[in-house]
A and B are shown apart, each in its own frame.
Chain A
Amino acid sequence: MTRSEGTIQSGSNNQRYLEFAIPISSFGATLIGVLIWQMGFEINFQFFSLGCVIGSCLLAYLAWIRPKKDIVALSTPIYAFIFFVVPTDYMSGLTLQLLYAISLTLLLIRLKHRFGMSHTAVSLGKELATPLKAYVEQNPDAFTGISPDAAHRAAMVISLFSTGEYGEAARVVTAITGQQEIPTAFPYLTRAFEIVHEHAIILEQSLPRPETYQTFLPEDEYLLANPQHLEYSEDRKFDTTFDNALLLLFSVAWNNAPADRLHLLTCQQFILKLLAE
C-alpha cells in the first residue's frame, strides 16, 4: 500500500467513525438525560441538547469535506443553535431533541447517498484519476524523445486553456510551431498543436465552426483518447478533434515534463471532462 493510499484509507475510517458519532451523540446525550431524570436528578434538560449540537457540527464537517456541498447539512449547526438556545422543560425538550436527532440521522443518510464520497487524492489534485492515468500510460514509447521544453509548452497550453486564456494559448502555440521546436519525428504533436491553435483562435474570437478544419491523420488514431465515430455530426467531430488534441498534449506533458506534473494536476478536472465522452 502506498503512503497516499494509506492516508486515504485512514481518512475513510475516520469518516466512518464520525458518521457513527452523529446518531450516537445526538440520541445518546438525550438518552443519558432521560436516565438521569429517571434517577431523580432533575438537571436542566437543555444541557443534554449538547449531543445534538455536536452531531450537527459533525454533519456540517462531513458535508464540508465533500467536493459536492450539501447546503442543508452545512447549515445544521445554525439550526441547532436556534432550536436549543432557548431553555425548555423536560417533555418539550425531550421531544425536540429526539425529533432533531432523527432529522440529523436522515440528513446523514441523504448526504451519503446524494452528495457522494468525500475528497479523494484525485479530487484533492494529488494524483491522476484512473481513466486519465490509463490514457497517459497507454503509449509511453510514442513520446520518447520529445524535448522537455516542447512538453513544457504543451503543459502551458493546457493550463491556459483550462483558465480560458485562449488568446494567450494561441500565442504560445504560434511561438512553438514558428520556432520549429518540435522534432519532425513527432508529426502528430505538430498536428495537435495546430488543432489547438485553430480552436484557440475560434474560441478567443467567438467564431463559428469553419467548413474545413485541422484534423488528425488515421495513423494517429492509436494515440487518441476519444474515438471518432462515423455517425457523429460535423460539430461533434470538430469538438472531439479538439478534445483529443488537448488530451494528447496533456499526455505528452505528463510523460515528458515531470516538473510540470503538479501544475497539470490542477487542470485535471478540466481534462477529465474532455476524456469523458
Chain B
Amino acid sequence: MKIGNVEVKVSIISIGVFVFFTLFLIVASLYSPEVRSNLIWLIPVLFMLLVIPVALNYMSRSQYAELEPEYERQAKTVRVKLINENMIGKIVRIDGVVERVHFQFLNRPQYSVADRSGAISVKMFTSPDEDIKVNDVVEVLGQVIRRYIVTGEPVVNCVSIRKKRAPVSNDD
C-alpha cells in the first residue's frame, strides 16, 4: 500500500490480530444481542487495530526516508572488523552478505551482515524498502549503537538496507 511516496507495509502479526478479533466479533455478535447493540463502536475500534499499525509504519518509514540522504552524505564505508565500541554514534556504510534474518514478520527486522572481515548485527526499527533475504548482497547505512542502548556489543541501527546488483568480492 502506498501513501504519498511512502510504501507502507503492515506486519503479518497486525493482520493476524485484526482477523482474529474480526472473527471473534462476528461469532460474538451472532450469539449475543448485547454485543450486537455495541457494534456501532466495536467495528471502528476493530478497524483501529489495522489503522494504528499502518499509521505507525507510515510515520517511521517517512522519518527514515528523510534521514537517508543525510546518512548517505555522512556515512563512511568501513569493514565490519573496524566497527568497535569506540565508534558508538558514528554513521557507517557496510557492504556485505545477509547471513541471517530475524523478526521480519514483526516489521522490526534484524539481520546478520557479513563481509570478508567478519559479521555484525544490523537492527532496523521499521520495514525495509526491499524484501531482503538470506544470501542477498546488500549495502547497509546506519549508526553504530550498543545492542541494548546503554550496554552490549556494537550493532548497526539501520536506516537503509538495499540490495546491491554487483556482487561483493568472493574470497578466502
> CA–CA, A166 to B74, complex, Å?
13
Size class of the B contact interface (CB-based, 8 Å) = 20 to 34
Q: Among the interface residues B81, B82, B92, B144, which one has the most CB atoms of the partner chain A within 10 A? A: B82
Closest approach, in angstroms, between the C-beta of A206 and any C-beta of chain B? 4
Partner-binding segment picked from B18-26, B42-50, B98-106, B145-153: B145-153
Number of interface residues of A (CB under 8 A): 26
A71 touches B76 (CB 8 A): no
A residues near B116, Cβ cutoff 8 Å: 235-236, 239
**At the interface, yes or no: A266 with Cβ under 8 Å from chain B?**
yes
Given contacts A69-B152, A164-B87, A269-B84, contact A206 B169 (CB under 8 A): no
Distance A243 CA – B169 CA, assembled complex (angstroms): 19
Contact A232 B86 (CB under 8 A): no
Given contacts A203-B76, A267-B86, contact A71 B148 (CB under 8 A): yes
Query: Contacts A266-B86, A267-B86; is A274 near B81 (CB within 8 Å)?
Result: yes
Check if A239 sits within 8 Å of B79, measured CB to CB. yes
**Beta-carbon nearest neighbor of B80 in chain A:** A273
* Interface positions of A from 17 to 37, Cβ below 8 Å from B: none
Roughly how many angstroms separate A55 CA and B116 CA in the complex, as a whole number? 43
Complex CA distance for A270 and B78, rounded to whole angstroms: 13
Decide: B172 and A233 in contact? CB cutoff 8 A.
Answer: yes
The contact sample of 17 A-B pairs, CB cut-off 8 A, is: A67-B153, A68-B152, A71-B148, A162-B86, A163-B90, A164-B86, A164-B92, A166-B76, A203-B77, A206-B75, A206-B76, A206-B93, A231-B172, A239-B81, A239-B117, A273-B81, A273-B84
